[in-house]
Amino acid sequence: MGLYLPRWGTALTWVFLSLIGLLTGVVAFIVSFGVSGILLARSLLVAWILDEPTPARVSALYVVFNLACALVGGALVMFVSKPAAGSGIPQIYGYLNGVDAPDFFTLPTAVVKTIASILAVAGGLAIGKEGPLLHIGSIIAHFLGRTSIFRRLKQAKEKEPFMAEMHMRDLVACGAAAGLAAGFKAPIGGMLFALEMSTRWRAELTWRCLYACAVTAWVVRSLTRLCTGDRDFLNWGSLMFYEVSFQSPYDQLPLVAILGICGGLLGSMFTIITTYFGAKRTRILNNRWARIHEVAIISVATSSLALILPKLGRCIPCPEVEGQCFSGSERLNRFAMYQCDEGNYNDLAALMFNSQGYTLHSLFTAESFSFSALSTLLFTAFYFFLASVTYGSALPTGLFTPSLIFGASFGRLFAHVLSYAGLPEVDFGLYAFLGAASVLSGMFRFAVSFCVILLELLSAEKQLPLLMLAMVFAKGIGDRFNGSILYHLCMIMGIPLVGSHPESTIRRKGFQAKDVMTRQQDLSIFEPMEEVAAVRQALDRHACGAFPVVKRGGEPGQHQTADFLGMVEAKDAQRLLAGREEEDLVDLTSIIQAAPIVIPTTMPLTTVFKLYNTTGVKYLPVMEGHHTLKGMVSRRELVECQSVLDPHIDERGRQSFTTIRRSLSGTAGRLALGMDLLPEISSPLLCNLDGDGSHDSECHDAGANQA
């Protein structure tokens, strides 16, 4: 049953949602404006390169220009706010599923992420700004939720609902959705993305997210219309909103399915490579200067390849009907003249030097043979490899735009293969569109939200059946090889994410709650009447947020029962012990909190996973009969069993999970796990283990015995 919210409190909620949309839209416009300005300056430098008879010196200046942008952004991240690195989506993914993220939602992080994101994207790196915008939107929402006016709201008898974790996570979900809506100009897609990320979705949250996304989209469009000058300038720093007209070749459905399969394989391969580089990076680059040197190497390599690879491109005559060499702004004509005579353009240079928005525009709308097969192959490999290496560096790095770009390029390459095979009337733009969608689905496995995002971005509703077919096949193939890229990134970062359901291995072996629980003898348990010394010793020995209380029955030396009474929070126990002598007895019954949910020992593990994720309760007492406590299931047990039995994780991955679990034995670790008693109570939950981690292998042993 939800908390009662008065009318004025509900109205204030919508006011804050309006502020989230407004501020996120303003920041998104600032990012696009900043990227556009720097890219325009860089275009003048490229024009200088083209005019120079010996462009080596100016080419070096181009490399230095991009390097300066990357280094300034990397220095801001490493010396001012380290949480600004990366896209922030894995942390938000974990937060929306119950894992707290300390120091992640701070204003300095938002400021650094905004500036560094502008510099990184304008520096020509194979990254996007949509992921960082999602993080910035969530920071804005979190900041508004922590303001004093929210803290003064006394809308429930015992708790402040806007300070409760459930309401804070709702605000963060709205902020994340608004950030994605600002990046892609897709309000419905942003709301659906937040829905697919969260396992604790409520009906009213749908309307709140959609409202925040709508406000964001309105702000971005309004600010764009206020620019009385050349609005085409803003398209340099954003994904353009335009309509495309594709064919609808339903007789080619088998080919679309094959493209979806190939896109799923490519997305899975990208996940594997990105995870590999991420794991190596965490082990090798363990200081800030090493991370900055990595940024420098990536920037120089990216700029050098962008200058060298067009020599392998093909000179193609400019279409007379268009009056320019490819779709996009007339300012980009000079890019197309790279290494070619007047009236021709270098197709690979057109892709390399174009801004991200215009690159996608060209891939989706250019004529069938505007880019040769070799140039398309080289550009796909270039963006695929550099995007996998760049993600995770000391910069705000997004994956949405790079995956769209190399996915669209891969789709055009697939269309080249079909054309060479003799298939008539191949729509290269359509296959680029479907290729981008299949790669996105193969990486993120969020088929619904990305399907809607692409439809909103391109206004291609007629292609919905083809789009759905490609994305469903891509997701299905990707699931056969590994988890989503967000799941693997959470694994690298040590985010103890509990999946919405266990893997097929767990379901197939028929595990039950008793196979994964921490057994009663391994728990630190109180009785209703305890000695003060024993309680204090347990509080000092275990950095736990709460302890189970049982009433033991039976004769000594015979079989004894342990009737579960509830949980005692550590802070309540400390308050109760104040001023008492060590030899005194203390009555804990006054501070016992009843468990909201208990489960039997025979409950299937699949049901345990679903119950844990959907209810938001942080512990599940395992009972035999009506009252006898046999053990406890919390996040730690589910994460470990998920990692041990997941077929996508090898032995090294299992060892890393064990190391992560042991490192989370202290107070900070349990805070990171978000092990609180209820969604409305922010306190660490339960001490499942002693400090030596003696129970680490129990889940694995139980699984082996069951098998």
How many Cβ atoms sit within 10 Å of the Cβ of residue 336?
A: 23
DSSP β-bridge partners for residue 221: none
Domain with CATH 1.10.3080.10 in the chain: 7-237
Spatial neighbors of 690 by CB under 8 A, at least 6 apart, are: 522, 542
* Alpha carbons 572 and 503: distance in angstroms, whole number: 38
Is domain 504-706 classified as CATH 3.30.70.1350?
no
pLDDT digits (tens, 9 = 90+) for 261-317: 999 999 999 999 999 898 888 888 778 898 999 999 999 999 999 988 988 888 887
* Alpha carbons 221 and 179: distance in angstroms, whole number: 14
Mean pLDDT for the stretch of residues 208-237 = 79
One of 3.30.465.10, 3.40.1380.20, 1.10.3080.10, 1.10.490.20 is the CATH number of 7-237, namely: 1.10.3080.10
Segment among 140-149, 633-642, 678-687 with least mean pLDDT: 678-687
How many Cβ atoms sit within 10 Å of the Cβ of residue 362?
A: 25
565 has a pLDDT exceeding 80 = yes
Q: Are 622 and 601 in contact (CB under 8 A)?
A: yes
Mean pLDDT for the stretch of residues 4-33 = 82
Q: Which residue in 452, 458, 490 sits closest to 471, CA to CA? A: 452
The structure tokens listed for 9 are 């409190």
Sign of CA dihedral 239, 243, 249, 250: positive
Percent of the chain with pLDDT over 90: 27
pTM above 0.75, yes or no: yes
Q: Which residue in 369, 243, 254 sits closest to 317, CA to CA? A: 369
* Alpha carbons 357 and 405: distance in angstroms, whole number: 9
Q: Which residue in 326, 329, 330 sits closest to 344, CA to CA? A: 326
Percent of the chain with pLDDT over 70: 78
Distance of CA 19 to the CA centre of its chain: 23
* Alpha carbons 197 and 491: distance in angstroms, whole number: 16
pLDDT digits (tens, 9 = 90+) for 80-139: 999 998 888 999 988 888 887 778 899 999 999 999 999 999 888 999 888 899 999 999
* Alpha carbons 135 and 114: distance in angstroms, whole number: 10
State the angle between helix axes of 373-390 and 288-308 in degrees (0 to 180), rounded to the nearest 10: 170
* Alpha carbons 287 and 706: distance in angstroms, whole number: 44
H-helix segments, 52-164: 56-79, 89-95, 107-122, 130-145, 148-151
Amino acid at 162: F
* Alpha carbons 48 and 56: distance in angstroms, whole number: 11
